[in-house]
Every structure is written in C-alpha cells, then in structure tokens.
Structure 1
Amino acid sequence: MDMTHRITRAAICLPLALGLATEAGAFTACQITDTGGIDDNSFNQTAWQGVLDAQGQLGIDARFLESQAETDYEANITSLLGGQCDVIFTIGFLLGDATQAAALANPDQMFSIVDYAYDPAIPNVLGQVYATDEAAFLAGYLAAGMTETGILGVFGGINIPPVTIFMDGFAWGVDHYNGVHGTSVTVLGWDPDTREGLFTNNFDSLDDGRAFAQNLYDEGADIVLPVAGPVGLGSAALAAELGPDELMIIGVDADLYLTDPERGQVYLTSIMKRMDATVFQVIEQAIAGTFEGGVIVGTLENGGVDIAPFHDFEGSVPAALAEELATVRAGIIDGSIAVGGM
C-alpha cells in the first residue's frame, strides 16, 4: 500500500463506474469517524455535515459509527458491511489501512475515504484529498501581517501528511510575506525542511491544546495554529482567557468561529477543508450511478479549500493586507505563486 503524499492540483478519477442509478429514498450513506467523534468541531463533523446536507436535500438515509480508539476501525467497517450502506465514508488518514482491506475484500461495496488516496487506486474507493497547503499559505501570510510580536506558533496532533500539509503551507505563507515585505516573522513549532516540530500525539486532549498554546505564547507567539482537531479547542480556551489582544487562534477544517461560538472572538480565521462539499458530491455520484474509484482534490480554485472570513477581526485586518491576500490567492490559482518551499 502506497499513499499519495503529494497531491496534484486537479481532480483525478479512474474510468470505472460502480453501481446503477438509485432512488435517493432507498439510499443509505454511512460514516465511520476517527477518534475525535462526530461532533468534534473539526473534520469528522464537517464530513458528517455533507451527509446531513444530502439527507436534507436528496432524501437519503444517514448513519454513523464513532471510533473510540484506532482498534475500532476494522470492527466498525465490518459492522456496516452486508448491504446496510450504499456508500461507506471513512474519515481520516488513520483509517487508510482498514478501508483498503475492507474494499479489496468487498469489491461491490462503494467506499470513500477523507484525507487519503491510494496508489495504485482501488476501483471501489474514491479518495477525498485537499490542497490544504494553498489555504494555509494564505493563513500564514495573514498571520505574518497581523502579528505584533513577530513570532507565530503552530503544533500538530500526529505527524501525518494531512496534518503537516497545514503546517507546511502556513510556514511557506509566512516565508512569502517575509520575502515581499523584508520582514523576519518566525514560526515556532514546525520546520518544513527538517520535518521536525511540535505534536501532541493525539486528537482529543483539550489539556494538551491549552498546554502547547501556553508554551508557544510564553515563547512570544501571539497567533497560534493548532492542527489537532478538538485539541485546538483547548488552545482557544486559553486565548479566550488571555483575550484576543494577547493571543489569537487560527482554526482548522471548519470555520471555528461558527462551530465554536463560545470562543469565536479568538479566531482570526480558519483554514477550511470543504469536506461537506466533497462528501455531498460523492453521494450525488453514487445515487446517479456515476461513482468512480480514484481521487478528487479540493483546491482554492474549485472551492474545496479556503480561509474563513475574519468575522470579529474584520475591522482589524488592514485593507492593504486584505488586498495583498486577494493578490496572493489569485497568484496561487493561476500558478504565478508556487505553494512550496522558498
């Protein structure tokens, strides 16, 4: 098994369609979460929103199973086999091996996995991956323009590609800002060249989120990017106590200003992966009988990734910086600005 580490900027699909057109009312989409749970304010919840959108708009049935530990992955997938689910969504890189094994053993079952792609592709699995580094590049540029200390912080949950792609893009965006402005804003917690940085090694401990953000704040960071699912809520809780004048947070996956309204005032922006949109797209294809194995890629250009509005910080982001961000966005889309190491 070989995972596609570097994704292309265009969607790729294999020419093998599975299944026949199905009436939406007779269609069931099932989701298996990673350990963050269905209401993690992050990628599990965002993917589930795509299923709920399909339930509301297309009239499908929806089910989910939560994984409490990595040892639940195989058992949860097995429990959904046997015709109960027309398509099974597995959410997260860590479900890659279990999804592959189940898909190979059950070639007539449609699967779709978020944050994973197979090389060679598996005909009955549609991977959903995201050029998250594009949106994170924008967030890094924004943060570099907003910091007052000249120090930014970042940490991850687990050192895996769907996490580090955020950290890469963020660091590259800061580098680009420094190159444009002749500044020396620094990023603590991740080095894209050495691949070394700070990781909590979990996606569920709010205490870790608070502690890691506190350490970065103590080292001078006034903006912190936690790439760790619900762990980041602990960082936001610290920022809410300190006040956004002391510490701002950049959210990940969803617009955390909306999904974490109790602490919405601390989020400068969020780096969004539109998993809801791609999940909905997969369900539409499965219902229509056009489901294809392979991979779809969310980018800035197709709306699969983006940064969230500034919300409470709308009046704090200088107009000139907002204009620069629009220029950088356009440059990423047309290829004149390369997202990668400088």
Structure 2
Amino acid sequence: MKKKYSAIALGLVAALSLAACGSAPDDSSSSSSGGAASDFTACMVSDEGGFDDQSFNQSGKEGLDRAEADLGVKTIAVESQSDADYPTNVDSLIQQNCNLIIGVGFNLAEHLTTAAQENPDIQFALIDSTFADAEGNPVELDNAKPLVFNTAEAAYLAGYVAAGTTQSGTVATYGGQAIPTVQIFMEGFAKGVAKYNEDNGTDVEVLGWDPDNPSSGSFVGNFSDTAKGQQLTEQFLSQGADIILPVAGPVGSGTLAALKEAGDENNAIIWVDADGYVKTESDGGSPYMLTSVVKGIDTAVYDAVQEASAGNFTSDPFIGTLANDGVSIAEFHDWFSKVPSDVREATDELKQQIIDGSLDVSTPYDPS
C-alpha cells in the first residue's frame, strides 16, 4: 500500500505567490517492447516552468521520452504551474504506482525527500539538488538518487568567452531565484570574466552579480515572469551591457524579446541548461545566441531510468562535470566569427585545465 504524501508545503525556499493549479498527469505509456521494462513506470514532475520551457524542464522530459522510446518503459509526466502544485503532483504519481519518480529542480527537494522517506518501495531521483530535510540539511536514502551538475565549470568558460567578445566592456547576468543551483551559474560566470581580465589586463564589468556581495544579485523571484526578465535586460542594456546570461529557464525568453526589440547585432544572450540556438531557432532567437551553458539533464534522466528499469538502481549521486560531459558550453554557431580566435583557443585550454585539476573554479554553491 503506497503511503499518501502529505500536502503540507514545507519548501526549502520562500514560497512563490502564484496560484495556478497543476496540470492533470499526461500518461504517455509505451508498449513498444516486452520484458521487465514494459512493466516499469518512470514518472516525472516538473518545476513551475513546465515542459515547454526550452530549457531545464524540457531537457528532463526529453530524457524521459527517449527512455520510453528506447527502453519500452511506461511514462507519466506531470506539470507544475506553481510551487503549490508540488505536493499534489508528487502524490498523484505515488498513487499511480510509479516505480521511479523524478523531480525536476531544487524547489522539489523537500517534497520528494518526504515522499521517499514515506515510500521506501518507490525509487526517486532529483535533478539539481540533494535530498534534504526541512532545514535544508542533506538526507541520504537508499531509494533516493541526486542528479546534480557542477555548472560553475561551464559557466566559467562562458564568462571568459563573454569577456573576450563584448564590444562594450560590460556584461550582465540575472537569476530566477536566489538558490544555489542558480547562483552557481552566476558565480562561475563572474569568475570567468575575472580570469579574462587577469589574463589580458582588461576591466570588463559584470552587472547583476558580485561574488563579494551575493545579496546584491539581480533576481526575478521566480521562473515564469518573462516580463520581469525583459525589464531587467532592458535595464542592463541601458547600463551598457551587450552580453547577458539569464539563469531563469523560460524567463530567458524575456531577454530574447528585449534583444530583438533593441535590434543591435552586437547584443547577445548566453542560454542555460540546453543549447539555446537549437531551442529558439524556430522563433528567431538564434542570431542572438552567443553560446549556452549546457547541463546533460536529458542523458542523466535517461541513464537513471535505464539503471532503475534494469534493476540496477543505486542512490549514488550523479555529478555532471566537464570531465564526464555532464556540463559543457555549446557551439558558438552564428557567433563563431565574432569570438576572437585567441579567445576560442584560450577557452579550450582552460577547459582542459579544469578537467585535469590544475585550474580551481570551485564556488560556495558547488554540488557535493
């Protein structure tokens, strides 16, 4: 008998003010192959951005869909429209006898931890966070696997590229919420800019994030307010920034809107989680896409489903790094010729130094 998950909202971070209800579960079951996999149900609950965010949640869903197609597992995916939906959505998956429940995002940590504690016969995986108690302390459970990413490594490279490519001498970043999985991007980005300045005797400025004063960082407050993302971008542009890193999932489309409206071919965005050039090509965003800080979320999800459905589930954390291709920066695509060749070469060298450990790019927000 599955234990019903409590609907008490205990969140790790301040509750959002949205009030929309969660979508009904989307049962996309597959019967394409026989054997044990066809009797295995892999399930996923999104963060508030939804599965069409062109970023974080969408990458997770793509991994789940690929597992369904390749492995013959059954899948159920449930979208969250706000943090109020998390406990209800997690409970709905428990009641549908899911074998593996994957939560997309740091904000689901406590809800999924409680569910894992109350349902030891179900396996759980959590993207971008360890499992944690009400005070945010890590919790280790035999049926709970963290899927986390050291994005500071890739963001550092993106910061170096931005500093070496900017025409104005000013770049910027902002986040969705002030949580470690967002702050790690911003910190890594700023450190990469600082490295470029150190190597080249320049003084490229970073707006929106100060490693010495994190509380002054620029944040939207959620992962859905694209208008606020556009407003912040317009503010940065007015202050002279020409390359902007939004760490806010679908809110990045607000930055794209501001760049399109400004119409300056020297302005650019650095996308996060997925290759933004590919994700935004259909709506005209790709010409503004310098590069992207990519997490291998889809592959991590696929691998977790594959292991669990084959009876090989472990609670050992997966930590994505440059060394294991769990994080990366995307190609420069249309911006290749605009990135100086010496910057491209230096970035390749820095990547290898990070991989071999000779360059320390650690931050206070690194996963462990």
TM-score, normalized by length of structure 1? 0.91
From 129, 144, 166, the counterpart of 1:125: 144
Mapped contact 1:244–1:266 kept (Cα < 8 A)? no
Letter of the aligned partner of 1:266 in structure 2?
Answer: Y
**Which residue of structure 1 aligns with residue 177 of structure 2?**
158
Give the structure 2 partner of residue 220 of structure 1.
240
What stretches of structure 1 of length at least 5 have no aligned partner?
4-21
Q: Which runs of 5+ in 2 are unaligned?
A: 1-9, 13-34, 132-137, 364-368
Find out whether 1:146 has 2:165 as its counterpart.
yes
Structure 2 CA distance for partners of 1:244 and 1:333, relative to 1, 3 Å: farther
Give the aligned partner of residue 18 of structure 2: none
1:269 and 2:291 equivalent? yes
Q: String of CA shifts for 1:118-149, please: whole Å, max 9, x gaps.
A: 33412111011100000000000000000011
Q: Does 1:257 align with 2:277?
A: yes
SS at match of 1:143: helix
**Greater relative contact order (CA < 8 Å, ≥ 6 in sequence):** 1
Q: CA contact under 8 A between 1:225 and 1:251: conserved in structure 2?
A: yes
Q: Which residue in 2 is equivalent to 1:19?
A: none
Conservation of the 8 A alpha-carbon contact between 1:214 and 1:238: yes
Judge conservation of contact 1:243–1:266 (CA < 8 Å) in 2.
no
Question: Shift of residue 340 of structure 1?
Answer: 3.6
Q: Contact 2:177–2:248 at 8 Å: present in 1 too?
A: yes
Distance 2:167 2:286 in 1: 21
SS of 1:211's partner is helix
2:254 aligned with 1:241, yes or no? no
Note the 1:38-49 alignment, pairs <5 A: 38-49=51-62
- 3-state DSSP of counterpart to 1:293: coil
Question: Contact 2:169–2:203 (CA<8 Å) still a contact in 1?
Answer: yes
Q: Partners of 1:171 and 1:193 in 2: how far apart?
A: 11
Inter-partner Cα distance in structure 1 for 2:123 and 2:70: 21
Distance 1:314 1:110 in 2: 43
Secondary structure, aligned partner of 1:302? coil
Given that 1:117 and 1:294 are in contact with CA atoms closer than 8 Å, whether structure 2 keeps it comes out as no
Structure 1 position 306 matched with structure 2 position 306? no
Q: Distance in 1 between matches of 2:360 and 2:128?
A: 22
State the aligned residue count: 322
The C-alpha deviation readout for 1:11-55, integer Å capped at 9, x for no partner, is xxxxxxxxxxx7222222111001100111111000111111111
Residue 124 of structure 2 corresponds to: 111
Letter matched to residue 332 of structure 2: F
Supply the AA of the counterpart residue of 2:318: I
- The aligned runs of 1:1-342 (5 Å cut-off) are 23-82=36-95, 84-118=97-131, 119-196=138-215, 197-261=217-281, 262=283, 263-340=285-362
For residue 74 of structure 1, report the CA deviation from its aligned partner.
0.8
Q: TM-score, normalised by structure 2?
A: 0.85
**What one-letter code is carried by the residue in structure 2 that aligns with 1:136?**
A
Q: Give the Å deviation of 1:244.
A: 4.8
Q: Distance in 2 between matches of 1:215 and 1:289?
A: 52
Contact 2:63 2:300 in 1 (8 A): yes
Give distance in 2, aligned partners of 1:316 and 1:189.
24
The whole-number CA distance in structure 2 between the counterparts of 1:219 and 1:256 is 25
Q: Where do 4+ consecutive residues of structure 1 move more than 4 Å?
A: none
Give the CA deviation at 1:194: 1.7
* Percent of paired sites with the same residue: 42
Native 8 Å contact 1:155 1:225 kept in 2: yes
Q: Is the 8 A contact 2:128 2:146 kept in 1?
A: yes
Letter in 2 for 1:170: F
Q: Distance in 2 between matches of 1:68 and 1:80?
A: 16
Q: Secondary structure at the match of 1:71?
A: helix
Contact 1:224–1:249, Cα closer than 8 Å, also in 2 = yes
Following superposition, the deviation at residue 246 of structure 1 comes to: 3.9
1:204-229 alpha-carbon deviations (Å, 9 max, x no partner) = 11111110000001001000111011
Task: Say if 1:103 and 1:271 are closer, same or farther in 2 by CA, change over 3 A.
Answer: same
